[in-house]
Amino acid sequence: MKILILALSLFIPVAHAQNLSICKGEYALCAASPTTAIPGQKVTINGLEFDAGVAVCPVLKGLSIANLALMNGSCEAPKGKVWSLFAPLKSYPQAPTWETVPEVIRTFVTTADSGMSNMWSMICEKQKKKTNGVQLADCYGPLNESPWTGTAVPVGTTVGTAAPVGASYPVGGNFP
């Protein structure tokens, strides 16, 4: 995990790198999730406004990587909520069945009609009922915002994701 944080810090500007931390406990993993735009709603990240979206993500337990600058400086989420964080897992529950399956990473290029979403270190509301035995959470975050810089991801940007081809606003990260 420490090697992964070091690798991530190479992609994140110094101003953001000092906010990386390892959290232990429940978290949502949105790496393979599509996102639905929320019409008329915005989210502000580092003073910049972005369209808002919601992604349904599995809730897992263990070590995860966080950007505490977006989490009020703490891994602790309010009651009934979890943070959407990242962990280098090879298999985890994925939509639509929420069966645990291997992660398949792919790239795509953003267009005017198809962007990406960033749910890393965003707050999520745990759903009241499990689906196929899996605890899910509704995670809210920005569309077309870079997890590395907090700035807009322009059309024509290459993005990495584990969401399937055809997913709307796949959760992912642009390549710096």
Count CB atoms within 10 A of the CB of residue 7.
Answer: 10
The pLDDT of residue 33 is 98
As a whole number, mean pLDDT of residues 140-163 equals 96
* N residues, the chain: 176
The pLDDT of residue 8 is 42
Single out the residue of 62, 129, 125 nearest to residue 98, CA to CA.
Answer: 129
Print the domain residue range for 144. 2-174
The pLDDT of residue 2 is 39
**Backbone dihedral region of 131: left (phi > 0), alpha (psi from -120 to 50 degrees) or beta?**
beta
- Residue 59, CA distances (Å) to 2, 15, 107, 134, 136 in order: 22, 29, 24, 8, 5
The pLDDT of residue 17 is 41
**pLDDT higher than 70, residue 60:** yes
How many structural domains is the chain composed of? 1
More confident residue, 81 or 18: 81
The pLDDT of residue 64 is 98
Task: Quickly state the pLDDT bin for 112 (edges 50, 70, 90).
Answer: confident
30 vs 161: CA distance, rounded Å: 10
pTM: 0.89
The pLDDT of residue 9 is 37
The pLDDT of residue 14 is 41
Single out the residue of 127, 123, 117 nearest to residue 163, CA to CA.
Answer: 117
As a whole number, mean pLDDT of residues 48-53 equals 97
